[in-house]
Amino acid sequence: MIDAASAEAADEYVQTVLKLYWQLPETPLKANVNDRQTARRFRARGIELATVETALLLGSLRRLSRAPDVPPLSPIRSLAYFQPVIEEILSNPVSNDYLKYLQVKMQSLCSNGKIVRRR
C-alpha cells in the first residue's frame, strides 16, 4: 500500500521532470500520458532528478549544436527521446559542476536569442 506522503513525493518528482522537459526548446508544450509514464519509470528506477536534468540538457544541447548546414531535426515528441542519454549518464556519471555548466550554456543560448522557446 502506498502512503499519502510517498504518493505526493512521486507526483512531485513527475511534475519536476515534466517541467524540466517542457522548458527545453523543441519539446511539446504539454505532456501526454506516455511522458507521465516515462517520468514515473524514472522515479521507480531511482534515477535522481539531477541525472534526468543533466540528460535533458545534454540531449537538447547536442541537437542545438548541430552544424547549421545540415537538415533540421524534427521536434522532440516524447520524453522517452532522452532515455538513451539517461542511460549514458548512468553508465558514466558526471559531476554537479557539469550540470551547472549545461544549465549556463542553455541559458546563454536562450537569452542571446539564438534559441527561442516556441509558444
Residue ranges per domain, the chain? Answer: 4-68+75-111
pTM metric for this prediction? 0.87
64 neighbors 29 (Cβ within 8 angstroms): no
Instruction: Locate 14 and state its grid cell.
Output: 513527475
Residue 50 has pLDDT above 60, yes or no: yes
What integer pLDDT is reported at residue 117 of this predicted model? 46
Structure-block grid coordinates of residue 6: 510517498
Query: Where on the phi/psi map is residue 23: left (φ > 0), alpha (ψ -120 to 50), or beta?
Result: alpha
Taking only the tens place, the pLDDT of each residue in 91-106 is 999 999 999 999 999 9
Residues constituting the chain: 119
pLDDT at 46 over 60: yes
Other C-beta atoms closer than 10 Å to the C-beta of 103 total 13
Percent of the chain surpassing pLDDT 70: 92
Band the pLDDT of 115: cuts 50, 70, 90.
Answer: low
